[in-house]
Structure 1
């Protein structure tokens, strides 16, 4: 933070009081009157120093709702999960996927036996595994997902996802609204209006988000 943006309010107030009125009682009274202006200044300055970039959104969320943790913008997603930090990841959306023929695509996990390609003693027959959308979860592990027409017409996808550690839902920092979807990969609904106001203030207009809770003990591979 630049030094010219930091105001020493007590010293400034003392300079502005005429010498004849520089008494403790008078200074304390003026300091009380100055408190709202100080709060507005510090809040406005904080907002001006942050943008809708991911690292700033993560920093603001952790400073507001997870102050006991130290946020490191250079940490990987796996490290943020271990450190129980609030972090942001891109949304998982299906993309157009070309289905390869067996002769065009195969897994390289094979060995040769008598000049014949075999896997576990049998001829290698390459298989292209297809996943449902509910199984297409973690960004680090991207399986091949064959999208259906409904995935483009019936499903509304968020622009990004906010991941919060489960400890913050258990200690009451975040209040979870009931969710009718029993899937373990389903997004949760946060009831804290402060959380949504903060995200809506900093994020780009028109950008939508979903919130997920995660447990740091079980990292998805």
Structure 2
């Protein structure tokens, strides 16, 4: 924080009081009257120093609901999960996947001399994952999007991930009718302050969904 934005309110108040009126009772009374102005100044300055960028939005969320954790913007997603930090990730939207016939999708055979063999084709094999491998986030199955995926469904612009520990200790309250233990489904946060904070900092027109996670997931 720049020094010119830091006000020493006690010293400023003392300087503004005429010497003849610098009594403790008078000073304490004026200090009480100055407290609302002090609070408004600090809150406004804090808001001006943060924007809708991901690192700032993550910092604001962690300072508001996860103050015991030290937020580091240089951590990657896996490190943020291991540190039980609130973090933001892009939304999952289906991408267009094309199904090719063998005659449409092939790789030519390259001979040792660098030429292409006539009439000889190598058909790429489909990669098959086991059920256990599907659970790994790094191995995602191919999803063939339907027209309704683009016309009937509204997707959020980004996702906010909250450690399950904050829900367990009631720091963040969720809708009791919504299942929290399913990590693939969005949860409904009941804290109005949470939504007010996100709506204040996020870019206009951007939407979000909230998910819970456990470091063991």
**1:137 and 1:21, CA in 2 relative to 1: closer, same or farther beyond 3 A?**
farther
Equivalenced residues, count: 196
Pairing partner for 2:173 from 166, 172, 175: 175
Cα-to-partner distance string for 1:165-214 (whole Å, 9 max, x where unaligned): 00000000111112279964110000000000000000011100000000
The runs of 4+ residues in structure 1 deviating greater than 3 Å are 100-106, 135-138, 140-143, 180-184
Task: Report how far residue 100 of structure 1 moved.
Answer: 3.6
| Residue segments in structure 1 that go unaligned for 5+ positions in a row | 107-123
TM-score, normalising length from structure 2? 0.83
**1:73 and 1:181, CA in 2 relative to 1: closer, same or farther beyond 3 A?**
closer
**1:184 and 1:40, CA in 2 relative to 1: closer, same or farther beyond 3 A?**
closer
Range 44-53 or range 153-162, more displaced: 153-162
**1:47 and 1:59, CA in 2 relative to 1: closer, same or farther beyond 3 A?**
same
Aligned Cα root-mean-square deviation (Å): 2.5
**1:136 and 1:162, CA in 2 relative to 1: closer, same or farther beyond 3 A?**
farther
Counterpart CA distance in 2 for 1:163 and 1:137 is 18
Q: Please say if residues 179 and 187 of structure 2, whose CA atoms lie closer than 8 Å, have aligned partners that are also in contact.
A: no
**1:12 and 1:2, CA in 2 relative to 1: closer, same or farther beyond 3 A?**
same
Task: Report how far residue 146 of structure 1 moved.
Answer: 1.1
* Residue of structure 2 equivalent to 1:197: 196
Q: Please say if residues 54 and 88 of structure 1, whose CA atoms lie closer than 8 Å, have aligned partners that are also in contact.
A: yes
Q: Please say if residues 183 and 212 of structure 2, whose CA atoms lie closer than 8 Å, have aligned partners that are also in contact.
A: no
